[in-house]
Chains A and B, each alone.
Chain A
Amino acid sequence: MKKPAWLVPIALVLVISMIVVGCPPDGVEPEPELTVYTLWTPEAELEAFNAVLAEFEQQSGIQVTHTPVDTDTMLVTFPTAFAAGTTPADVVLAPFPAWIVGLSDHLLPVDALLNKAEFAAVHLSPVTSAGQLYGIPFKMAGKPGFWYKPSFFATHDLTPPDTYAEFVDLLAALDDIPTLEAAIASGNGVGWPLSDQTEGFIIGLGGYQLQLDLIEGTVAWTDEAVRVDVFGPLVELLEAGYFSVPAEWGAQVEQLDNEVYGMMWMGDWIVGMVEDPEDIAFFPFPQTDGVVGAIDYAIIPAYTDWPDEAQQLVSFLATREAQEIWAGLGGYLAPNTAVPLDIYPVAAQSVAEFMLTVTVVPDLDDTIGGAFQITFWDQLKLLWVAPGQVDDVLEEIQQEAP
């Protein structure tokens, strides 16, 4: 059937009119509703953070929608949205200081939203740019050392080591247990489990200052202090077959639980992942003087429709009151130093107590970020299966280092 052409402009006018009519009339302010993006998809983390938000909603009367996303979604979505002058979230919690600083032109400063005396300077400096703070530390993930099952160690008459020599002896003893596939489970996936493990060796064998120097770029990855003192022993252990071939880290935690491996380097969140949280403990890298505390920072995109409300939420998240809620539920360390130790459940308390005895340093690859992080992760995957290529690996890493 032939339709007259003049119908098209009329249809367009009708559609535009419907859109205009659908908009709220002038003078009626919509209720503020904040959207928060986080990376906390595991159920325990999701529920714990929702408990914090519920408290904020009750106190402020502002409604908050929590949207957990995966790492890639977060890393890709925000730079592109910012380029278009928009944001899908009013507040974002992200553990990537370099990414935050790189996007600081599109974020609101948060200096006035926290009591700086309650936070360690080492946790604020990575998100400070041109003298202004762009993120408040909300959650700290401690990466204290090797996690093992005390019951398994007891069965095989093994004890956590105090020295590096004892550590190597322990690996040999684990290697002799025929039911084990490898002494140490190596996590894979995105790449951070291997970098966390390597940072453990850097701090444990080279000292926390070496970690800071590598972040600053004042020491090269090809220097003797790194190549010989840190990667030398690591390569020896890799060549001895004490580490498993890298596999999906979640599955590796399960295999640790199933006693396929003897131990695994992991953050404190492992406690919430194992069958029996009472039967999991850690020992730090022998004689280490430092530990990585990776922070999730709350940031506010400048394009939020609700800047005042978003600032209100971020200000709340910085308080002892907000951080105590999750600390009490477990699986969390509070960067706010006013949070008392006795509020933590037992497993988290031991991590928190250990972290008070050594120097807490930032996560190396999260702090540097960008091409370095991707290269670091990828080259470590190579090192784990081809330790003989250590010199090439370190050269590649150095190419992207600060």
Chain B
Amino acid sequence: MRRLIFILPALTLVALIVVFPAVETVRGGLWSWDGLEMTEFAGFENYAELFGSRSFINPARFPTRIPPWGALVHNLVWVVVFIPLTALLGLFLAVLFREVKGGSMLKSMIFLGMVVPLVVGGMMIRFMFDGRAGIVNALLRTVGLDSLARTWTAYPDTALPSVILGSVWIWTGFAMIIYSAGLELIPKDLYESASVDGASTWRTFRRITIPMVKPATLIVVIMNLIYVLRIFDIVYVATRGGPGGASTVLALQGYFYAFQYHEFGMASAVFTFLTIMAAAISVFLVRRVR
């Protein structure tokens, strides 16, 4: 009883801040709305409209033509491109800086990207890929690729890649820190034994490092997965999902439904779908690794 009394404030807060809004969101997706009021039970009508809309999946353009491919496809592109890139780059940097003098300082510098608010990150991506002042275009011009130098976020074929690549730059610090912690847990004698047995650096990395950082990889993949499925801030600031919906994502679509179109039923359907999808993929990954 005494335990219950002590846990009650926390439970009350969780119920009010997490459970109640979540239940209301699920309920909202199943009802018709008139402005700010739920009017009548609509079953899966909102979901049917969502799944049938071109802004959700655009089969006329995906995969044969340039974006827009629909928010769901764009989210999946994020998953396929962003997660492997950040994980590989993070692992590479963690291994590299473990061996380098002053590695801790370098790691801190790369980790700085993580402490930048995502809204600022979105602004930085806009400037990085700006045709006139962006560092990316300056580099392209330096190496003679002038034809690629333009405002990447303004064009439908480069808007999505630019926000993904910009986010990789911002978010790699997270993967690097997790992998650094994972690397510290690998017993040194494993490497010593490998060295005595004459194993090459690559073989040691493949047979010892990669299997031993599997738990860290799981954390990186799941955290990044949750990050990319709910990605909003960076896209909103960098491109607003444009041009022509070429870089829009589900969370942004949900935001527009709710606060620009005032279609709260559709917004609830988007966010419910997003939550179920993230939960299902995360559970699948955790079980698979076990």
A contact set with B: CB distance below 8 Å? 5, 8, 72, 75-76, 79, 82-83, 102-103, 105-106, 181, 188, 190-191, 245-248, 370-371, 373-374, 377-379, 381-382, 384-386, 389, 393, 396
- Which B residues are CB-close (under 8 A) to A190? 240
- Chain B nearest CB, measured from A71 CB (Å): 10
Cα-based distance from A106 to B245 in the complex (angstroms): 32
Residue in B126, B130, B156, B261 whose CB lies within 8 Å of A386: B156
Residue in A82, A245, A373, A378 whose CB lies within 8 Å of B245: A378
- Which A residues are CB-close (under 8 A) to B43? none
- Chain B nearest CB, measured from A129 CB (Å): 12
Closest-by-CB residue of B relative to A189 is B240
Q: Is the CB of A385 within 8 A of B243?
A: yes
Closest 3 CB pairs of A and B: A382-B244, A381-B243, A382-B243
Total A-B residue contacts, Cβ distance less than 8 Å: 78
Cα-based distance from A384 to B153 in the complex (angstroms): 13
Q: How many chain B residues have a CB neighbour from A under 8 Å?
A: 28
- Which B residues are CB-close (under 8 A) to A248? 126
Q: Contacts A382-B156, A385-B156 given: A396-B244 contact, CB under 8 Å? A: yes
Q: Is the CB of B155 within 8 A of A385?
A: yes
Q: Contacts A79-B36, A378-B243, A378-B245 given: A385-B154 contact, CB under 8 Å? A: yes
- Chain A nearest CB, measured from B16 CB (Å): 14
- Chain A nearest CB, measured from B168 CB (Å): 24
Instruction: From A82, A102, A374, name the one whose CB has the most chain B CB atoms within 10 angstroms.
Output: A374
Q: Is the interface of A mostly helix, strand, loop or mixed?
A: helix
- Which A residues are CB-close (under 8 A) to B35? 102-103, 105
Q: Is the CB of A370 within 8 A of B260?
A: yes
Q: Is the CB of A8 within 8 A of B6?
A: yes
B contact set with A: CB distance below 8 Å? 1-2, 5-6, 35-36, 126, 130-132, 150-151, 154-156, 240-246, 256, 259-263
Q: Is the CB of B245 within 8 A of A371?
A: no
Instruction: From A5, A82, A181, name the one whose CB has the most chain B CB atoms within 10 angstroms.
Output: A5
Q: Is the CB of B154 within 8 A of A381?
A: yes
**CB pairs A–B below 8 angstroms (5 shown):** A188-B154, A374-B260, A382-B244, A385-B156, A386-B244
Cα-based distance from A140 to B233 in the complex (angstroms): 32
- Which A residues are CB-close (under 8 A) to B150? 245
Q: Is the CB of A5 within 8 A of B244?
A: no
Q: Is the CB of B256 within 8 A of A374?
A: yes
Q: Is the CB of A82 within 8 A of B240?
A: no
- Chain B nearest CB, measured from A401 CB (Å): 14
- Which A residues are CB-close (under 8 A) to B241? 378
Q: Is the CB of B131 within 8 A of A381?
A: no
Cα-based distance from A145 to B260 in the complex (angstroms): 28
Closest-by-CB residue of B relative to A246 is B154
Instruction: From A72, A371, A373, name the one whose CB has the most chain B CB atoms within 10 angstroms.
Output: A371
Cα-based distance from A384 to B159 in the complex (angstroms): 14
Q: Is the CB of A247 within 8 A of B261?
A: no
- Which B residues are CB-close (under 8 A) to A377? 242
- Which A residues are CB-close (under 8 A) to B242? 191, 377-378, 381-382
Cα-based distance from A83 to B21 in the complex (angstroms): 14
Q: Is the CB of B154 within 8 A of A245?
A: yes
Q: Is the CB of B5 within 8 A of A8?
A: yes
Cα-based distance from A190 to B260 in the complex (angstroms): 13
Cα-based distance from A382 to B66 in the complex (angstroms): 12
Cα-based distance from A78 to B238 in the complex (angstroms): 25
Q: Is the CB of A102 within 8 A of B244?
A: no
Cα-based distance from A374 to B240 in the complex (angstroms): 10
- Chain A nearest CB, measured from B132 CB (Å): 8
- Which B residues are CB-close (under 8 A) to A76? 259
6 additional contacts, CB 8 Å, given A76-B259, A381-B242, A382-B156? A5-B5, A8-B5, A72-B259, A191-B240, A245-B150, A246-B151
- Chain B nearest CB, measured from A377 CB (Å): 8
Closest-by-CB residue of A relative to B259 is A76
- Chain A nearest CB, measured from B120 CB (Å): 15
Closest-by-CB residue of B relative to A372 is B261
Q: Is the CB of A79 within 8 A of B262?
A: yes
Cα-based distance from A239 to B188 in the complex (angstroms): 64
Closest-by-CB residue of B relative to A190 is B240
- Chain A nearest CB, measured from B123 CB (Å): 10
- Which B residues are CB-close (under 8 A) to A381? 154, 242-244
Q: Is the CB of B130 within 8 A of A247?
A: yes
- Which B residues are CB-close (under 8 A) to A181? 132
Instruction: From A8, A248, A379, A386, name the one whose CB has the most chain B CB atoms within 10 angstroms.
Output: A386
Q: Is the CB of B244 within 8 A of A378?
A: yes
Residue in B126, B131, B132, B261 whose CB lies within 8 Å of A371: B261
Q: Is the CB of B243 within 8 A of A370?
A: no
- Which A residues are CB-close (under 8 A) to B6? 8
Closest-by-CB residue of A relative to B158 is A385
Q: Is the CB of B262 within 8 A of A102?
A: yes
- Which B residues are CB-close (under 8 A) to A373? 260
Q: Is the CB of A247 within 8 A of B260?
A: no
Closest-by-CB residue of A relative to B8 is A8
- Chain B nearest CB, measured from A288 CB (Å): 27
Q: Is the CB of B260 within 8 A of A378?
A: no
Q: Is the CB of B259 within 8 A of A79?
A: yes
Q: Contacts A102-B262, A381-B154 given: A245-B131 contact, CB under 8 Å? A: yes
- Which B residues are CB-close (under 8 A) to A83? 36
